[in-house]
Structure 1
Amino acid sequence: MKKFNLNTSVVDTREQRLGTIIGWKTGKASELSKDSAFTCAGCKGNGGKRLCEATGPFTQGSTCSEQMVECQAGNVRDAVLIQHAPIGCGTGQVAYNSIYRNGLAIRNLPIQNIKIINTNMKETDMVFGALDKLEQSIRDAWNRHQPRAIFIGTSCASGIIGEDVDSVASKMQEELNIPVIPMYCEGFRSKHWSTGFDATQHGILRQLVRKNPKKQENLVNIINLWGSDVFTPMLAELGLEVNYVIDLAKVEDLERLSEAAATVTFCNTLGSYMAAALEEHFGVPEVKAPQPYGIAGTDAWLRELARVTHREKEAEIYIEKEHKRIAPKIEELKKLLKGKKGYAATGSAYSHGLIAVLKELGIQVDGSLVFHHDPVYDNNDPSKDTLKFLVDNYEDVANFSVSNRQQFQFYGLLKNVNPDFILIRHNGLAPLASRMGIPAAPLGDEHHAIGYSGILNLGETILEILQHKKFHQDLAEHTKLPYTKWWLEQRDPYILEKSNFVKIE
């Protein structure tokens, strides 16, 4: 029996498949890694224990699965995404259009706007249904853009009233003779937005990927977001061609996913579902290795990719050449960064990779915040356990936390560690750090720290932001945080999660 059921249009959530949690008390990274071993298949005798998720009385802010479909399916260049949702769900189009245009510019691709249409569900639609609106929006998408495919993203509103999106998709696919692909990504479906990645990838695997592929021995799938093109020159050293998916791809690129010799990703959180399902259903091997961050991770990643594609000799030549090139530059950066303390606050697997790079630069990392934690990934292979790789190959992280982008907790986490700078990708947390006198490196280019050059890139970026330290200190002296004196004095950012805690005014 196959693990990934492509006969249904609905993907299993990360809670169901992977045991994802979005809250965990601050502790050592090694403790979380050890406890996660309980969840792994056949690993319950490894000394771990079932992860107990920390749950609080409220959520201050986060995002949702629908937005992840918006930022992936909505970024396929010759397709259209229909948001079957109230207009409020379309507010993200403004930000994602900017990111999309910037991503195209970075890749030297023709600049264009995203093609997303919102069905504008209203109160009356919640009573009488809105399938007519959905059908009309699909026809509008076809008439305006003549797309190669049309994606449909659901919403909390369409999910609550049980809209039969599948029937409309099937009808319009037959009428227009192009793939019309439903993606079930209601915000309430999963407690973490990463399930939205899986919903997008599930729909693509079901309805776009070629079922009888002609294999290309030099083609490698790179599951990514909008980052700069760092993989093409790296893989060219091994005689390999890159197929970037999903963001900024064309429908043809998605169709040939099944033709590749291998699949890799810059972040296991993003690529877990698609990579494992491509291997199971289409025989495309997932490269089971650490992520390409730092020297140790990049070496292992390249060697495994070379093994899968039979290019071991080329990989060793490239690795030796790069080691010699970056060694003196790394030593110079280490001298300049000596004594500095860093903090990573990003998605889980991405944060693990960034910490590895920081430690190879000689930077002390006393703390990190990840927005969720997957005890396992979809292939359940130990070599993909990014947290264990970090713990086994680098010093432990004493203050490791899981919190779903909660600003009120982030204040306490930073106060307890007091880093010189933070690395961050998501909006909302960097301004709070600035008001505490801590500069942030917003990593808008997801590929900035990847590979051998990524170590140098990150080191130089950190030096640059540290030059602005005085500005952030001045900001801290002249601003006030929006929290009570009582909360600012708390040492435990998770105190509200304790079931026996009752605050008396």
Structure 2
Amino acid sequence: MNYLNAKSAPAREDRLKTNIAYGGTCADVKDCLKSGCFGAGGCLNLAGRRFSQTHGCQFTLSLAILNTLRNAVIIMHAPIGCGSCSIGNVGVNKSFKQLRDPKAEGVIWLNTNLDEADVISGGERKLREAVLYADREFRPETIIVANGCVPSLIGDDIDSILSDLQNQTAANIVPIHCEGFKTKVMATAYDAVYHGILKRYVKTPDRRTQLAETDLDKLTEQYRISRNVNILNVGSMSRADELELQRLLNAIGLNVTFIPCYAEPEDFEYALETSLNVSICGTHDDYFVEHLKETYNIPFIVDTIPIGRKNTDRWLLRIASHFGLEKEAQQLIALENKQLDASLAPYRKALRGKRVFLAGGEVRIIATAEILQDLGLTVVGFKAHHFDQFIEPMFDALENIDDVLVDVATNQPFEQSNLLERIKPDIFIAHTGGNNISAKHGIPILPLFGPSYNYLGYSGVFEVARRLNKTARNGQFNKKLAQNLKLPYRSDWYAKDPFTYIKQQDAV
């Protein structure tokens, strides 16, 4: 599992045999999972598509995490267009940082602006200038260099340059090798970021041992650490989500620290002062927690994401059982569920029977489907960015979904459009920013996550129900779009099987 001697993290196609092209039913997927078909040649390890309309890029997804880190300057070593998506996150990231530290600055990034001449002569000079400028101008604690496709293709020796510059700068320099062309699985970005964090941030702290001068101090510190839990947050979590999970774990006597998003570099150093690492989503965190278990013997939990009451119950009990706090957790769960039942009654009445299609990250869409079933809605389809073994426990919370269609595709809006035209759901739930074509089908849309909304925990169930009810009652805007705008696909495409272009691994 320890890949830190390598320059970069391996692609998930190789490490996890992740699937990015699949069409079938939930029953098919569950059968494949039971058969262990994620190995080479397995039925879930498919090659791809004969036609691909769009694809995800691990460079931009890496920036989604890196831009949240406090006291850091991000340097994009790439052409100017790479990372331009960061502009849309400036206000959000600044606001989120200041929820942790009122004095925190917004996103500070530079781009080396590689052009045609640099492709011939190399971009190393521009990188050196950018690093020295960042250190001199902003005096950050950390300078993070995200490496794009172009410098990797032309052979810029990023690590040697940054190693040399480390002796000339006050900031800690962290290389992140997240070139988009190296993987078709966008989620490899999480591994790329954690790879850099593990190599440059995580180390055994000494501050606590210096403070612990007496036996009583040592015992107090050991007790604190024994009750501390690292929650590995994700970019799709809001601050309200974090506070809800913190509330639940505090209620059973545990302390909580959130990393990596919106953390400071120092937070990673003291990440080793914990009794348990808890992943919110296996898609994000297995690379990190597996390494800490292997190197520092810190146990971890990678199970389910606490979206929906059943998933939250299970998540809370798994953590409580590690500390012998099952009784306290059961009492809390009973109280939370009683209050939740009373609050959901009017929404169940209003939403019962409506048909919903979900698209997004594999773990999140399956977990969100549990909320829908709890409210009496019918799940009619899934479109996941990819599938791997971390999806298996998510099906446990769902009922009667064997016949529900599953499309595995990172973006690929042509497949999604075909499925929506066929299934005609009443509501579409998907990631923000990729719903323009779906809106033209006239379907009301609820974002799968939002930076200012609560989705996780018991309060998240109520918030999703409240917003879902509002969405279902106010669908006129999208209906008007469908009446006045044309979809970009020809009618003969909608007559074809939506999975026409998916090819098996052994296809020629």
Residue 320 (structure 2) pairs with residue 309 (structure 1): no
CA 1:105–1:447 in 2, change beyond 3 Å: closer, same or farther?
same
Give the structure 1 partner of residue 143 of structure 2.
150
Residue correspondence of structure 1 range 22-37 to structure 2 within 5 A:
22-25=20-23, 27-37=24-34
Give the distance between the partners of 1:108 and 1:153, measured in 2 at CA.
25
Give the structure 1 partner of residue 216 of structure 2.
none
Of the three residues 393, 396, 412, the one matched with 1:389 is 396
Give the distance between the partners of 2:266 and 2:482, measured in 1 at CA.
50
Give the distance between the partners of 1:184 and 1:317, measured in 2 at CA.
46
Of the three residues 391, 402, 415, the one matched with 2:421 is 415
Give the structure 2 partner of residue 221 of structure 1.
230
Give the structure 2 partner of residue 372 of structure 1.
386
Of the three residues 481, 484, 489, the one matched with 1:483 is 489
Give the distance between the partners of 1:108 and 1:468, measured in 2 at CA.
37
Of the three residues 243, 250, 257, the one matched with 2:257 is 243
**Contact 2:77 2:146 (C-alpha < 8 Å) held by counterparts:** yes
Residue correspondence of structure 1 range 30-179 to structure 2 within 5 A:
30-39=27-36, 49-51=42-44, 53=46, 55-104=48-97, 109-110=102-103, 112-179=105-172
Question: Cα offset for 1:136?
Answer: 1.6
CA 1:257–1:235 in 2, change beyond 3 Å: closer, same or farther?
same
Q: TM-score, normalised by structure 1?
A: 0.89
SS at structure 2 position matched to 1:203: helix
Give the structure 1 partner of residue 355 of structure 2.
341
* Between 470-479 and 212-221, the greater mean CA deviation after superposition: 212-221
Q: TM-score, normalised by structure 2?
A: 0.88
Deviations 1:334-378 (A, max 9, x none): 21211111111111111111112211221100111111111x25x
**Contact 1:85 1:157 (C-alpha < 8 Å) held by counterparts:** yes
Aligned residues with identical type, % of pairs? 28
Question: Cα offset for 1:301?
Answer: 0.8
Deviations 1:86-115 (A, max 9, x none): 111131221122331343466685563211
SS at structure 2 position matched to 1:170: helix
The answer for unaligned runs of 5 or more in structure 1 is 378-383, 500-505
**Contact 1:416 1:491 (C-alpha < 8 Å) held by counterparts:** no
Give the distance between the partners of 1:346 and 1:446, measured in 2 at CA.
18
Residue 332 (structure 2) pairs with residue 318 (structure 1): yes
Of the three residues 179, 182, 187, the one matched with 2:175 is 182
Code of the residue aligned with 2:129 in structure 1: it is Q
Give the distance between the partners of 2:302 and 2:106, measured in 1 at CA.
36
Question: Cα offset for 1:160?
Answer: 0.3
Of the three residues 262, 270, 293, the one matched with 1:256 is 270
**Contact 2:303 2:393 (C-alpha < 8 Å) held by counterparts:** no
**Contact 2:354 2:377 (C-alpha < 8 Å) held by counterparts:** yes
* Between 446-455 and 243-252, the greater mean CA deviation after superposition: 446-455
**Contact 1:353 1:386 (C-alpha < 8 Å) held by counterparts:** no
**Contact 1:36 1:49 (C-alpha < 8 Å) held by counterparts:** no
Give the distance between the partners of 2:473 and 2:105, measured in 1 at CA.
36
CA 1:36–1:8 in 2, change beyond 3 Å: closer, same or farther?
same
**Contact 1:173 1:180 (C-alpha < 8 Å) held by counterparts:** yes
Give the structure 1 partner of residue 469 of structure 2.
463
Give the distance between the partners of 1:338 and 1:416, measured in 2 at CA.
22
Give the distance between the partners of 2:113 and 2:322, measured in 1 at CA.
47
Give the distance between the partners of 1:24 and 1:325, measured in 2 at CA.
40
Give the distance between the partners of 1:186 and 1:149, measured in 2 at CA.
21
Residue 4 (structure 2) pairs with residue 6 (structure 1): yes
Of the three residues 417, 425, 440, the one matched with 1:435 is 440
**Contact 2:419 2:498 (C-alpha < 8 Å) held by counterparts:** yes
Question: Cα offset for 1:156?
Answer: 0.7
Question: Cα offset for 1:40?
Answer: 6.4
CA 1:15–1:39 in 2, change beyond 3 Å: closer, same or farther?
farther
CA 1:272–1:426 in 2, change beyond 3 Å: closer, same or farther?
farther
CA-based RMSD of the aligned residues comes to 2.4
Give the distance between the partners of 2:100 and 2:245, measured in 1 at CA.
12
**Contact 1:338 1:363 (C-alpha < 8 Å) held by counterparts:** yes
CA 1:104–1:349 in 2, change beyond 3 Å: closer, same or farther?
same
SS at structure 2 position matched to 1:345: strand
* Between 106-115 and 330-339, the greater mean CA deviation after superposition: 106-115
Give the distance between the partners of 2:109 and 2:147, measured in 1 at CA.
13
- Say how many residue pairs are matched: 482
Deviations 1:470-505 (A, max 9, x none): 332222112111122322x32411223469xxxxxx
Give the structure 2 partner of residue 294 of structure 1.
308
Code of the residue aligned with 1:8 in structure 2: it is A
Give the distance between the partners of 1:168 and 1:454, measured in 2 at CA.
46
The answer for unaligned runs of 5 or more in structure 2 is 209-221
